Chains A and B, each alone.
Chain A
Amino acid sequence: MSAIEIAGVSKSYGAMRALDDVSLTIGGNAFFTLLGPSGCGKTTLLRCIAGFEEVSAGSIRLLGRDIAALAPNERPVNTVFQNYALFPHMTVAENVAFGLRMKGVPEARRRARAARMLEMVHLAELADRMPAQLSGGQQQRVALARALAPEPEVLLLDEPLSALDLKLRQAMRLELKQLQEETGITFVFVTHDQEEALTMSDRIAVMSHGRLQQVGTAREIYESPVNRFVADFIGETNVLPVLVEGVEGGRASVVLPGGARISCPAAGLGPGAHHLSIRPERIGIAAGGPLRATVERVVYLGTDLQLVTRLADGTAVQVRLQNSARTEVPAPGTAIALEPEEGAARLLAD
């Protein structure tokens, strides 16, 4: 059974539409990520699920049950807040045991469980500290242990890694993923960091301006973005202005800048001016390729080289080349021909 079903949910603050007709199904025992730029409504959606905001329209079901009438304390959902919100006047152990205490679990049992949770996040020796005596990373683990201790059906995490430094963030990604698999609890993870989303998630929902843009696995979202926003937001890509001349049997005949024609999936689009996305690592130098460009710069990236090239009409096209001994690197100013790999060119809806 799916853990959460969100159907046609909208949320308005006055004239401001923070959520606009969002429909989404989140499966059980999954690591699900809400991804989008700051201000796109991710926190608002989490708050609607947790019960801190009332939806303006639509419904949310948790394990098949409509939760509109339930107060936050009646929903089997726990949250890891963006700034952790650890209770400053309670010790780490008291923080972790708080949910169990509210559920009426006897003291001895909740103390044992709090100790076990702290062990799970590698903080057993800090049980008697106050939150103010912990580092950011430690606070984050306490918040995690506190939210997991009552064994919720769903764990909501609002950008839990954004306050940590890079090294810690990368280590925590793996740990979070592992925790999700160990506990079997559905994680709904919010982030604005596409790399984070790609590395951790079973499924990703991309949001923009309160609207859902695309839902799918990391691979689907990266390789088959449905529109310009998704293509642009996830990873790097080249977006070329193109003309679709005709569509036949689901394939479009596309005129590239410079006049060469290629064929690619129509993606439901009709003839007319559109945009085409090609990832930098899926386009290569090939004599006789359909795109003629001039190399402007070569950027050394360690494992990769990045060519910044420009087409005759002024469109910039980035090309990633593997940095190996066999790679021939053209010098700046050289005229080259580029060719997208089979299936790499994708038409985008606006």
Chain B
Amino acid sequence: MRGVRHYPGFGAVTAGCLVLLYAPLVVIAVYSFNGSASITQWGGFSWRWYVDVFTGPESGRFGQAAWNSITIALLAATAATVIALSAALAMVRAGSFRGRSATFALVNLPLMVPEIITAVATLIFFTAIGLRTGYLTILIAHITFCIPFAYLPIAARMQGIEGVYEQAARDLYATRWQAFRLILLPLVMPGVVSGYLLAFIISLDDFIITNFVKGAGMETLPTAIFGSVKQGIKPNIMAISTMLLAVSAIFVTLSYFINRVGQRARG
């Protein structure tokens, strides 16, 4: 059979898509090393905008925003991973139960609902229960939409692990908890790490929902960048964006490889 890659024109279309996707990123990365203050004219290679990010007039604002982003991402990814692991245990290991399909839909809803709808709904919800918008509301919202990203790799990995290992452990006098902690958990660990990294990066990058529920005076890195760009694009934004891009790329790559190594060890 002919693979899809053998259709005429497939290569050209692919190349076109890749250029469209990545050209802007390349431009930003290149111009973050621009020696001049212009965002269009090349003034030679320089680290000055990276220095500016850490010491310039906006460094305080960005520092605080980065701190918020990273702590929220750590906490949200941790909570989402724990919840996702519990959900996966129920969905994959507990057999069928009433409401299983409904639970699956519920866990994965954030992937299917347009983000702007979730954002508005979340804001209305917080207002309705009288919760003041701020750090806490961002954290709660992030935990919610991070769950499916943590859930999918964990559940996929757990599905690939036969139940007979846990049965063998139970047969050898392990309690339910010991069978989980000593057998199932180490075996799903690549999925857990992969899910955690994915959740972390999704939280770190989020703009729309965060912007709705952050409240006045509270900034994360994406909202701070957006605020700064509104007053005109300066090359220091490109430097921050490039650093964020690098962190994202590292995490996603890591997540991918951890999953693959796990799969190879199992097969």
A residues with CB within 8 A of B:
50-52, 71-73, 77-79, 81, 83, 85-89, 98-99, 102-103, 132, 146-147, 150
Given known contacts A88-B187, A89-B186, is B167 in contact with A98 (CB within 8 Å)?
no
The docked-state distance in angstroms from the alpha carbon of A147 to that of B169 is 11
Q: Are A98 and B164 in contact (CB under 8 A)?
A: no
A71-B170, A73-B170, A79-B168 provided; 4 other pairs, C-beta below 8 A? A85-B168, A87-B168, A88-B187, A150-B173
The docked-state distance in angstroms from the alpha carbon of A102 to that of B186 is 17
Q: Does B216 contact A (CB under 8 A)?
A: no
The docked-state distance in angstroms from the alpha carbon of A110 to that of B187 is 24
| B165 CB contacts on chain A under 8 angstroms | 85, 87-88
Q: Which of A50, A88, A103, A132 contacts B173 (CB 8 A)?
A: A103
Q: Number of A-B pairs whose CB atoms are under 8 Å? A: 56
B residues with CB within 8 A of A:
162, 164-165, 167-175, 178, 183, 186-187, 265-266
Given known contacts A87-B183, A88-B265, A88-B266, is B167 in contact with A102 (CB within 8 Å)?
no
Given known contacts A88-B187, A88-B265, is B164 in contact with A73 (CB within 8 Å)?
no
Interchain nearest-CB distance for A185 vs B (Å): 15
Interchain nearest-CB distance for B192 vs A (Å): 14
The docked-state distance in angstroms from the alpha carbon of A73 to that of B174 is 6
The docked-state distance in angstroms from the alpha carbon of A81 to that of B172 is 12
* A-B complex: 6 closest residue pairs judged by Cβ atoms: A99-B172, A102-B173, A85-B168, A72-B170, A85-B164, A73-B173
Interchain nearest-CB distance for A78 vs B (Å): 6
The docked-state distance in angstroms from the alpha carbon of A40 to that of B173 is 28
| B175 CB contacts on chain A under 8 angstroms | 73
Given known contacts A85-B165, A87-B165, is B265 in contact with A73 (CB within 8 Å)?
no
The docked-state distance in angstroms from the alpha carbon of A329 to that of B25 is 90
Interchain nearest-CB distance for A337 vs B (Å): 57
| B265 CB contacts on chain A under 8 angstroms | 88, 132
The docked-state distance in angstroms from the alpha carbon of A102 to that of B171 is 10
